[in-house]
Structure 1
Amino acid sequence: MKKLKTNKFLKNLFLIFFIVSIVGCKKTPEKFTQERFLFGTYIQMIIYSDNKEKANSIMEKAFNEIVRIDNKYNSKNKNSLIYKLNNSEIEKIELDEEGKYIFNEIQKMYEVTDGMYDITIEPLLKLWGFGEEARKSVPSQKEIEEVKKNIDFSKVKIKDGILTKEKDIKIDTGSFLKGYALDRAKEILRENGITNGFISSISSIATINRKADGSLWKIGLQNPEDQNKRLGILEIENESIGVSGDYQTYVEISGKKYHHIMNKNTGYPINDKKMVVVISSSAFLADIYSTSFFGMTEEKIKNFSNENNVEFLIVKTDNSITKSKNFKI
């Protein structure tokens, strides 16, 4: 009996040693980073993997998905459906399931904002010089009234998978497409086994879970009053961020800055907010919401936030801050 007990003890000891050896040999995931210039900005991707070749291959697939979205929908890309719709005699296109999803969400926010979120704003942006030709003076009221005639998303119809627009209406994808591209890249990473990841196009961010070491992703928010300073730091996991600010894209006319988030009714940049930050489960929706909130009242923003599980922070023109209850900075 004594011999049996000794053998059993040795077997158990060997089993423990074997398990410890396996755990000890397990590779700690390495951090891999790539950056590409797409959508007119730098997009950074961070993932964790135990294999460099595999990591690079997966990131290549994710970046290729961003390129696909750019080529398919970007209104500034001459190969895209939207560019061709805007710049030819074509007045309608057939949408696949992806296209239906994108434009149905656009339609929802157009209605929620009573038409203030309007992706047919391009003529007004061009008038202010957000294109190839810079302006030397502020647009006249006559010029503004003239271009306002061609700004109206209600003239874009979506029925039975067909998107139709009136001749002089042009669609601008700048307020939402980067966010959608990041969402798709995130899904590609997930489908290929990535469990910890980060994708950023500066104003749009998507994350997969936490960092590999278990810590949260930390995002520094610029102070809209002074971009060399931080407003604070956000800590997130498996969430997305959309940021819209009056300091991001602007033109200078006679020494004064005019930003690109327009009030289509007045024809001038919206002047009661400096920055809107949105946290959502989707980078696509966070992008749409951050732009939409610029043109909404605080009460309406709060109600929408509560109903749609969205967190927000608003920096007003006087530098005061309003935020949702669970927005921690």
Structure 2
Amino acid sequence: MQIYRIPFKAMASTCEVVIADDDEQAMFAKAQEAIAEVRRIEVKYSRYRPDSIVSRINAQAGGDAIACDEETVALFDYAQALYQASDGLFDITAGILRQAWDFKNQRLPAEDEVQALCQRIGWHKVERADNKLRLPLAGMEIDFGGFGKEYAADRAASVLQVAGVTHGYVNLGGDIRVLGPKPDGQAWIMGIQDPRQPDKIIASIPLTTGALATSGDYEKYMEVAGQRYCHILNPQTGMPVRQWRSISVLAPVAALAGSCTTIGMLKEANALAYLQQTGLRFLAIDQQGRVHTQATA
């Protein structure tokens, strides 16, 4: 079997489908099916597309409820479970904080600007009945950015599994779902980046199945007056998290791995207790560069 790597761009990330196969033409067809599934999810749920279900719901904030299909309802159920499991820290209505935090132009927001947005945040305010969802306040928004990429990785992996792929993985911007080991049975080696040295790998993780995801303060951030402000924002305060440089989690599926890393970042001082409670393997790097791990699940 030959190992093939098919790179592509999606969800503002550099992505890759890796498949071991003995038929290049069949392999390429399988990879294109998986990539098409990623693009389907991006089109359906991107807040940047006016025709997406997310944009249609947001456009009706303060107005009518919107009917949702079965897949979207399931994602809302998952968002609700994350909200409850995180004591309200993982909140898909918190995306509006980006209106105050401009990481591209390195602009710190005024406190009243942040607090005004916080008034429109709160998953508990969202009204759901049957398959319909309504945002009760004008200006409220939902955003699947907290787990959309990981969900897409899992869906792409499912497409490949149905197509008979048993050796390979899907990598969507560092959110990785592994289908099975290399053809010789060896693990794929996944590197975890040093959050302060982009060219350095701080750990190498062997994976034959399951998923790996990382959240951190090093890919999207700004530094003002010597203080680093990261893009992961606490919905209750409107402020960036500060406790951890990065948190990586291994889980059976990418959606679970990714949501646990984000909740860990949001938990700040309580992150290790939370991560240990999940029973999942993790690697966390604090602001002093110390590494904390739970190596066995």
TM-score range, shorter chain: over 0.9
Post-superposition Cα deviations, 1:172-222, rounded to whole Å, max 9, x if no partner, equal 221100111111110111111111111112330011110112110100110
Q: Give, in whole Å, the separation in 2 of the partners of 1:171 and 1:130.
A: 20
Offset, 1:294: 1.0
- Does residue 48 (structure 1) correspond to residue 20 (structure 2)? The answer is yes
> Match for residue 262 of structure 1?
233
Matching of residue 302 in structure 1 with residue 273 in structure 2: no
Match of residue 71, structure 1, among 27, 39, 43: 43
Q: Deviations over 1:114-156 (max 9, x none)?
A: 111111112212201157xx354x2222112111111111122
Shift of 1:321: 2.1
For structure 2, which runs of at least 5 residues remain unmatched after alignment? none
The CA distance in 2 between the partners of 1:312 and 1:214, in whole Å, is 24
Once the two structures are superposed, what CA deviation does each residue of 1:250-304 show, in whole Å capped at 9, x if it has no partner? 234466542101122332211111111011111112121111111221223322x
Which residue pairs with 1:284 in the alignment?
Answer: 255
For residues 257 and 155 of structure 2, what CA distance do their matches in structure 1 show?
14
The residue number in structure 2 matching 1:21 is: none
Partner of 1:272: 243
Query: Which one-letter code corresponds to 2:74 in the other structure?
Result: Y
Counterpart of 1:174 in 2: which secondary structure?
helix
Whether the 8 Å CA contact 1:275–1:314 is kept in 2: the answer is yes
Greater CA drift, 93-102 or 247-256? 247-256
Residue in structure 1 matched with residue 292 of structure 2 by the alignment: 322
Q: Structure 1 counterpart of 2:100, which letter?
A: L
Kindly report the root-mean-square deviation, in angstroms, between the aligned alpha carbons of the 2 structures.
1.8
Cα distance in structure 2, aligned partners of 1:33 and 1:92: 43
1:82 has 2:47 as partner: no
Fraction of identical pairs, as percent: 26
TM-score, normalised by the number of residues in structure 1: 0.83
Q: Distance in 2 between the 1:211 and 1:156 partners? A: 45
Mark the runs of 5 or more structure 1 residues left unpaired by the alignment.
Answer: 1-28
Match of 1:96 among 35, 59, 69: 69
Amino acid corresponding to residue 77 of structure 1 in structure 2: R
Residue type of the alignment partner of 1:231: I
Q: Is the partner of 1:114 in helix, strand or coil?
A: coil
**Could you tell me the TM-score, scaled by structure 2's length?**
0.92
Distance 2:291 2:113 in 1: 35
Partner in structure 2 of residue 172 of structure 1: 143
1:149 pairs, out of 108, 113, 119, with 119
The letter of the residue matching 1:103 is: F
Distance 1:150 1:130, change over 3 A: farther
Whether contact under 8 Å (1:155, 1:169) holds in the other structure is no
Matching residue within 196, 212, 235 for 2:167: 196
The count of aligned residue pairs is 292
Amino acid in the other structure paired with 1:128: W
| Whole-angstrom CA distance in 1 between matches of 2:281 and 2:65 | 36
1:32 CA drift (Å)? 1.6
Q: Provide the C-alpha distance between the structure 1 equivalents of 2:289 and 2:257, rounded to a whole number of angstroms.
A: 22
For residues 265 and 205 of structure 1, the distance between their equivalents in structure 2, rounded to whole angstroms, comes to 30
Choose 1 or 2 for highest CA Rg.
1
Contact 1:203/1:244, CA 8 A, preserved across alignment = no
Paired residue for 1:17?
Answer: none
Opposite residue 221 of structure 2, the aligned amino acid is Y
Q: Secondary structure at the match of 2:145?
A: coil
Cα separation, 2, equivalents of 1:262 and 1:100 = 25
| Alignment partners' CA distance in 2, 1:86 and 1:313 | 36
CA contact (8 A) 2:95 2:143 kept: yes
State whether residues 70 and 77 of structure 1, in contact with CA within 8 Å, keep that contact through their aligned partners in structure 2: no
Contact 1:34-1:45 within 8 A present in 2 as well: yes
Q: Whole-Å Cα distance in 1 between the matches of residues 192 and 26 of structure 2?
A: 32
Query: Residue 194 of structure 1 aligns to a residue in which SS?
Result: coil
CA distance in 1, matches of 2:95, 2:224: 19
User: In the alignment, what sits opposite 2:89?
Assistant: 116
Alpha-carbon contact 2:57-2:134 (below 8 Å) kept: no
* 1:77 CA drift (Å): 2.7
Deviates more, 1:49-58 or 1:293-302: 293-302
